[in-house]
């Protein structure tokens, strides 16, 4: 059986490791260790944190189109036939939903990291979005000496997690001196100000740490989707084609929600490829074992319903990062029969 995997991020790597005979296609021969991007910002040094990890692929190419009728992927390097297809193309950030955001805010891509590193010392930075990314960004920038505003539209930070965790995270940020604005719906972003339901916030730089969706190519491929995340059933099988599976941040249940996190993405990759190869016998159930946020020099973890602050949470965070690096090393050690030279 010829299995093709599109995208070599957390989900794609997991899928390839679970079925080494598959063909992994990605336009890059490196992968971004996302958690380390915060370290780059905090230390203002790419050499210390090394967020890019070399990662082998079978075919280094950009996916242009998928012909589902003929079962072939059209890439910049030619066509690749498949029997089963795993789509794990990650996420994109959409800045268009807030007036002025595309022109006056900075997102969170590799190119954006370079812009953030060059912020003027002592300036004011306003972060839109009090989710996990916004919280870690706020802590990192505050440690760099910036004045930081963090705006969240809901009544508490990380509103999708437990209230106790939100309280502890907010406390840690306030101890650092971060100005937190809750219930702050952003109406418009201008060059040096953010207009919210709580008033006008003056700022030198504005970072958009929300607006994450599936990649535009999901819609372009004609797949049924919500917010550019292809819809799948409980086996991670596409609602459109029985031989196509979705994994990682580009997929979501047709009835329910798949959390967007590295931990869950890795789980989807493994389950999707096993179901594709062995038959649909594994029902996917997201298992977010732990969430740990680095807030300044503090580590705050949510383990099931328990909030733990300190050394244990730090160890879990370090382990998660090193575990991913280990998985990439295992991937690179595989034999790549389709490797392009």
Beta bridge partners of 59: 25
From the list 328, 333, 330, the residue with the least C-alpha distance to 26 is 328
What CATH number has the domain spanning 101-208? 3.50.50.60
Q: Over the stretch 161-197, which tens digit does the pLDDT of each residue have?
A: 999 999 999 999 999 999 999 999 999 999 999 999 9
- Check residue 214 and give its pLDDT: 95
Distance CA 217, CA 90 (A): 11
- Strand pairing category for 84-87 and 244-246: parallel
Q: Over the stretch 265-298, which tens digit does the pLDDT of each residue have?
A: 999 999 999 999 999 899 999 998 899 999 999 9
Q: Where in the chain is the domain with CATH 3.50.50.60?
A: 3-93+212-286+316-333, 101-208
Distance CA 193, CA 201 (A): 5
From the list 107, 184, 118, the residue with the least C-alpha distance to 151 is 184
pLDDT at 340 over 60: no
Q: Over the stretch 56-82, which tens digit does the pLDDT of each residue have?
A: 999 999 999 999 999 999 999 999 999
Residue tagged 């705006």 (tokens): 151
Mean pLDDT of the chain: 94
Pairwise pLDDT comparison (172 vs 318), residue with the higher score: 172
Question: 27 and 62 in contact (C-beta within 8 Å)?
Answer: yes
pLDDT at 230 over 90: yes
Question: 215 and 91 in contact (C-beta within 8 Å)?
Answer: yes
Q: Over the stretch 118-166, which tens digit does the pLDDT of each residue have?
A: 999 999 999 999 999 999 999 999 999 999 999 999 999 999 999 999 9
Q: Check: CATH 3.50.50.60 for 3-93+212-286+316-333? A: yes
- Check residue 34 and give its pLDDT: 81
Distance CA 139, CA 146 (A): 10
> What tokens does 179 get?
């100005």
How many residues make up the chain in this entry? Answer: 341
Q: Is the pTM of this model over 0.85?
A: yes
- Check residue 97 and give its pLDDT: 85
Res. 44 pLDDT band, cuts 50 70 90:
confident
- Check residue 43 and give its pLDDT: 84
pLDDT at 29 over 60: yes
- Check residue 341 and give its pLDDT: 39
- Check residue 172 and give its pLDDT: 97
């Amino acid at each position: 059986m010829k299995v093709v995997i599109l995208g070599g991020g957390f989900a794609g790597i997991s899928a390839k490791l679970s079925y080494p005979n598959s063909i992994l296609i990605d336009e890059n021969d490196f992968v971004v260790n996302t958690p380390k991007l915060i370290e780059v910002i905090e230390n203002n040094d790419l050499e210390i944190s090394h967020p890019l990890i070399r990662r082998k692929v079978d075919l280094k190419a950009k996916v242009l189109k998928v012909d589902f009728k003929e079962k072939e992927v059209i890439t910049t390097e030619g066509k690749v036939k498949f029997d089963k297809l795993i789509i794990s193309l990650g996420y994109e950030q959409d800045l268009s939903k807030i007036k002025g955001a595309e022109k006056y805010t900075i997102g969170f891509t590799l190119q954006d990291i370079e812009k953030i590193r060059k912020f003027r010392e002592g300036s004011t930075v306003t972060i839109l979005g009090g989710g996990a990314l916004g919280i870690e960004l706020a802590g990192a920038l505050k440690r760099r000496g910036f004045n930081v505003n963090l705006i969240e539209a809901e009544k508490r930070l990380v509103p999708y997690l437990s209230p106790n965790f939100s309280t502890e995270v907010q406390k840690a940020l306030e101890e650092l001196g971060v100005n937190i604005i809750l219930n702050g719906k952003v109406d418009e972003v201008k060059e040096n100000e953010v207009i919210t339901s709580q008033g006008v916030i003056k700022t030198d730089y504005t970072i958009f740490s929300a607006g994450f969706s599936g990649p535009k190519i999901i819609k372009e491929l004609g797949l049924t989707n919500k917010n550019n995340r292809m819809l799948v059933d409980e086996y991670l099988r596409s609602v459109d084609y029985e031989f196509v599976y979705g994994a990682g941040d580009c997929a979501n249940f047709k009835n329910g929600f798949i959390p967007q996190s590295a931990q869950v993405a890795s789980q989807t990759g493994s389950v999707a490829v096993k179901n594709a190869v062995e038959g649909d016998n594994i029902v996917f159930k997201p298992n977010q074992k732990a969430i740990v946020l680095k807030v300044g020099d503090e580590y705050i973890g949510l383990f099931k319903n328990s909030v733990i602050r300190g050394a244990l949470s730090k160890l879990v965070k370090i382990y998660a990062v090193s575990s991913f690096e280990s998985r990439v090393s295992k991937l690179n050690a595989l034999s790549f029969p389709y490797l392009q030279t």
